[in-house]
């Protein structure tokens, strides 16, 4: 018997006798007991009492697949959720699964990463059980040149999920950092495997600092990075947040493929922290100027003394509220 069927049955927290469960699921009472044991090993707190039966005493604040329940049927991201207590990098594992044929929407979540990857060859701080480390396998029917748009769309989904969770204004720093109060709360790393004109798969890696406190971060990041809990003053339900984020990613990915970037670009620009700001961009060469926005391809538009330049990649810095990272 699948432990997930038992979990659904016990989901309301009410007592249910072993006999009643066995009858509803069409299994023996011994099979019910085995499933209870399996769930307990996964970390669920299940009470058992003679004469009353079993009840789910509470969730465990682990990112278990059974806890990450989307409220709506996904449009495109239908794959399973794969959970690990510890992994080097959820992106690395998702890439391996994608190479082995994992279906679109396969999501890898971990409680802890020992070698979390950041953009530009950096590492991503990944302390255990506090934050979200998520990688989603995508198989977009688009040419490789359009793939950078996926990271911008993901930034919109992450920023809107954070705003909905905290009630605070979440901003995006091009291309895809998400900020709260000028500090980085989430980062996105897309990794791609493609032929010349066809994407095999993209792994969309998302790290969101949910419940990490100031002291959970190394000293050099304490002022540059923040977490949702730090900004809104209460802990965040990690599994609930993850389910809601996956719903938004599914809807926004569907919109990109069905209707293009126009509507998403507007939503991106509404949250863009850099528009109107004076920035320096370190890329193939260094430029300085005032940000005008992004274009239909997701490039950053910077007005310099030589005219408006399109920036496709690079590290952007500015003087003022945002302190880098």
CA distance 68 to 298: 31
Q: Minimum distance from CB of 110 to ligand BTN (Å)?
A: 8
Distance CA 193, CA 200 (A): 5
Torsion angle, CA of 225/228/231/232, rounded to 10 degrees?
180
Q: How far is the CB of 288 from ligand BTN (least distance, A)?
A: 23
Q: What gap in Å lies between CA 120 and CA 317, rounded to an integer?
A: 14
Residues 316, 148: Cα–Cα separation, whole Å: 16
- Residue 13 to residues 30, 53, 56, 110, 169, Cα–Cα distance (Å): 21, 12, 5, 26, 35
Selected range binding ligand BTN among 4-12, 131-139, 151-159, 288-296, rule: CB under 6 A = 131-139
Report if residue 66 touches ligand BTN, rule: CB under 6 A.
no
Residue from the set 18, 79, 140, 207 that interacts with ligand BTN by CB under 6 A: 207
Determine, following the binding rule CB under 6 A, whether residue 209 of this chain makes contact with ligand BTN: no
Min dist CB 190 to ligand BTN, Å, is: 9
Among residues 79, 205, 298, 314, the one that binds ligand BTN under rule CB under 6 A: 205
Taking the least distance from each CB to ligand BTN, the nearer of 133 and 322 is: 133
317 Cβ contact partners less than 8 Å away, ≥ 6 residues apart: 279, 280, 282, 324
Assess contact for 129 and 61: CB atoms under 8 A.
yes
- With respect to ligand BTN, which residue has the nearer C-beta, 59 or 90? 90
- Choose one: 41-49, 130-138, 213-221, 256-264; the region binding ligand BTN (CB under 6 A): 130-138
Region near ligand BTN per CB under 6 A, out of 18-26, 48-56, 132-140, 303-311 = 132-140
Q: Which of 119, 224, 292, 323 binds ligand BTN (CB under 6 A)?
A: 119
The residue whose two tokens read 């605070």 is: 168
Rounded Cα distance between 75 and 90, Å, is 23
Taking CB under 6 A as the binding criterion, the range among 95-103, 147-155, 184-192, 279-287 that sits at the site for ligand BTN is 184-192
Burial pattern 161-197, b for ≥16 Cβ within 10 A else e, equals bbbebbeeebbbbbbbbbbbeebbbbbbbbbbeeeee
Give 67 or 111: the residue with its C-beta nearer to ligand BTN.
111
Residue among 18, 79, 105, 116 that touches ligand BTN (CB under 6 A):
116
Min dist CB 163 to ligand BTN, Å, is 18
Asked if 135 touches ligand BTN (CB under 6 A), the answer is yes
- Considering the complex, state which of residue 35 and residue 170 has its C-beta at the smaller distance from ligand BTN: 170
Does residue 89 belong to the site contacting ligand BTN (CB under 6 A)? yes
Q: How far is the CB of 39 from ligand BTN (least distance, A)?
A: 26
Q: Is 118 in the site for ligand BTN (CB under 6 A)?
A: yes
Phi, psi of 55 (to 5 degrees): -150, 150
For the chain, the C-alpha Rg in angstroms (whole number) is: 22
117 binds ligand BTN per the rule CB under 6 A:
yes
Helices and strands of the chain, counted as H and E runs: 8, 14
84 near ligand BTN, rule: CB under 6 A: no
Is 44 within 8 Å of 56 (Cβ atoms)? yes
Cβ closer to ligand BTN: 56 or 64? 64
User: Virtual CA dihedral for 7, 238, 151, 143, nearest 10 degrees?
Assistant: -10
Considering only 188, 229, 256, 274, the residue that binds ligand BTN (CB under 6 A) is 188
| Among 141, 164, 161, 138, CA closest to 151 | 138
Which residues of this chain interact with ligand BTN, rule CB under 6 A?
89-91, 113, 116-119, 122, 124, 133-135, 177, 187-189, 205-207
């Amino acid at each position: 018997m699948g432990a997930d069927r038992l979990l659904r049955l016990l989901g309301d927290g009410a007592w249910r006798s072993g006999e009643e469960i066995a009858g509803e699921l069409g299994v023996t009472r011994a099979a019910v007991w085995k499933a209870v044991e399996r769930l307990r090993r996964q970390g669920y707190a299940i009470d058992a009492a003679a004469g009353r039966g079993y009840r789910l005493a509470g969730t465990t604040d682990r990112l278990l697949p059974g806890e990450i329940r989307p409220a709506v049927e996904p449009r495109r991201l239908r794959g399973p959720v794969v959970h690990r207590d510890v992994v080097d990098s959820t992106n690395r594992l998702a890439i391996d699964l994608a190479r082995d044929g994992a279906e679109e929407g396969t999501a890898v979540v971990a409680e802890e990463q020992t070698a979390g990857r950041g953009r530009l060859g950096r590492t991503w701080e990944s302390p255990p059980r506090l934050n979200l480390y998520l990688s989603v396998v995508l198989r977009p029917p688009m040419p490789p040149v359009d793939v950078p748009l996926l990271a911008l769309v993901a930034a919109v989904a992450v920023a809107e999920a954070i705003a909905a969770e905290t009630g605070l204004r979440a901003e995006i720093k091009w291309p895809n950092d998400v900020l709260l109060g000028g500090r980085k709360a989430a980062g996105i790393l897309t990794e791609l495997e493609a032929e010349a004109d066809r994407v095999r798969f993209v792994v969309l890696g998302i790290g969101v600092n949910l419940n990490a406190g100031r002291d959970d971060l190394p000293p050099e990041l304490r002022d540059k990075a923040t977490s949702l809990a730090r900004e809104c003053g209460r802990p965040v339900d990690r599994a609930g947040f993850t389910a809601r984020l996956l719903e938004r990613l599914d809807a926004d990915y569907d919109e990109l493929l069905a209707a293009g970037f126009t509507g998403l670009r507007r939503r991106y620009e509404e949250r863009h922290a850099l528009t109107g700001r004076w920035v320096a961009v370190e890329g193939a060469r260094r430029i300085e100027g005032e940000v005008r926005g992004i274009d239909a391809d997701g490039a950053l538009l910077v007005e310099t003394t030589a005219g408006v330049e399109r920036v496709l990649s690079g590290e952007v810095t500015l003087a003022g509220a945002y302190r880098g990272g």
